[in-house]
Amino acid sequence: MSDTGRPEPIENEAPVGDAAEGAPERAGAREEVIEIERQDAARRYVVTVDGAQAGVAVFVSSPSAVTFTHTIVDPAFGGRGIGSRLAKFALDDTVARGLRIVPRCPFIAEYLRHHAEYEASVDWP
């Protein structure tokens, strides 16, 4: 220990504190590849994690709105924010296309209740 009462660094030791911010929590950790796409013919948005389908947000389109009817994330991918990423992507895409959001899906509705930035684009059922 140094005179400050803090441990002295050990050579080749990973940095701690501020210097470690942004570092993976465990050695050898790698980023997952998360991809989301809109599949108009299937009327759904699909999220994949490392190439495996992790979830879908099902919708019905009209000329002026997208009605979200069901969202599901495979339990194997639960608790990792995959559903929220899917919701954000789908909602951002809907707004960018100038369409209204109609949240009939409970998950999308709950997401919208926590994200007021979409309020001007929502038609609550």
pLDDT in tens, 75-100: 999 999 999 999 999 999 999 999 99
Q: What is the mean pLDDT of residues 40-54?
A: 98
Amino acid at 44: R
**Are the beta carbons of 76 and 48 closer than 8 angstroms?**
no
| Bridge partners, residue 67, by sequence | 60, 102
Q: Structure tokens of 11?
A: 């050579």
Residue 29's pLDDT band (cuts 50, 70, 90): low
Does the pTM surpass 0.85? The reply is no
pLDDT at 30: 75
Residue 37's pLDDT band (cuts 50, 70, 90): very high
Q: Which domains does the chain have, with CATH numbers?
A: 32-121 (3.40.630.30)
H helix intervals, 15-73: none
